[in-house]
Structure formats: C-alpha cells, structure tokens
Amino acid sequence: MILASTFIASAILFNSATGTGPYDSWKYGYYESETLIRPEKMMQVKAIKPAIWSCLGECTYEIILKDKAGRILTHTTEREARPERFDGVLDAPIRLVSNAVYQLYTKLSSSKEEIGISTAGSEPFPNRRGPVAMELVYARKGSKRYTERGPIAFTLEGEFIEYQTTKSRADRVRERREMRLQRRLGRRSH
C-alpha cells in the first residue's frame, strides 16, 4: 500500500487562547516562554502567531521550534512597530507529525519596555481550541519565572494533512487477475 497525502485547507489549526486570570493580558518590557506541544493530527504549519495587542517603540518577536531530539526546525525573528503586522510567517512550512512532542520557545520584547501580550493562563489550558496538547516548561519576565501566567498565547496557522491509503500497482494487477478469473469461472458454470 502507498500512502498519499491530501491537504485540507484551514487557516487556524490551533489557538492556545488567552487565560482568564488577572495577569493573562498584561504589558511587559520582555517576556519569554517555552511550551511543549503535541499535535493530535498531522499538520503543515505556515505561521506561529503571537497574541500581541499593543507595542510601544519597536517590538521584537522570536520563535524557535525544535523537535524531540533538540534539532531546530525553524527560527524566526520579526521586528515591528505595530502589533497587527506580526504575522508569524515561517521561512518555510513545517510539517508536525501527530503525537510527536515539539518544543516551542517564544520571546517578545520592546525597545521602549512596553509590549501588551496575552498569555494562555495556567495548565491545563481549558480555553485552548484545536487538536494540540500543551505543557508549560517555563514562562518568565527577566529572571523571574511564572507558573500562574503561562506561555505567550499563540495560534498555529496552516493546513491539516490527512493520509489516505491507495492501492499499489501490484495490488491493482492482482485484483484485475482475480476479476478475470471470476468471470471465466462464471462463464464455465453456465
């Protein structure tokens, strides 16, 4: 059997959503987080977009996505003065395999020490939407680590990939032979 991939269009594959705690929408000069993500479906990610709602000065958004072995799959940095321009588009689409674990490192900073971000809240991240499990490794502002604020909220954008089995050439030939044999046997029995 040969597996053939089919892309199923979908803009937002996963949304970590914003937490409901008092610090889940806050302004920082610098904030970083690392999250383990495990897709429940195979997907091709074209963008990892942060939840930024304000920016004073020039803001920087950096992401690093690694596989379980620690190999960097993508490393992207964007600098913008207006948060709506952060598109999170990756240099090249990244295929995430279902049930594999990936490390997502995100960092946001501002030249004027003020960037408004949303965080995903604390585990188990009840507001998340989409087929991705998340686990917080750390979130911090400077040297202080947070557990109640969670990782920087984000969306994964791209396409789901579904695999369908197709028959190999040998299987199709075998089926045709069996059909011919059945027809011959059917004619002899009349």
Residue 7 forms beta bridges with which residues?
161
Distance CA 162, CA 13 (A): 13
Instruction: Calculate mean pLDDT across residues 111-139.
Output: 87
* Domain spanning 2-165, CATH class: mainly beta
**Residue 177 pLDDT greater than 90, yes or no:** no
CA triple 136-142-147, angle to 5 deg: 30
Tokens, residue 116: 């408004």
Q: What is the pTM of this model?
A: 0.77
Percent of the chain exceeding pLDDT 70 equals 89
pLDDT in tens, 50-66: 999 888 888 999 999 99
Given a contact cutoff of 8 angstroms between Cβ atoms, the answer to whether 92 and 47 are in contact is no
Local confidence band at 6 (pLDDT 50, 70, 90 cut-offs): very low
Q: CA–CA separation, 167 vs 3, rounded Å?
A: 9
What is the residue extent of each domain of the chain? 2-165
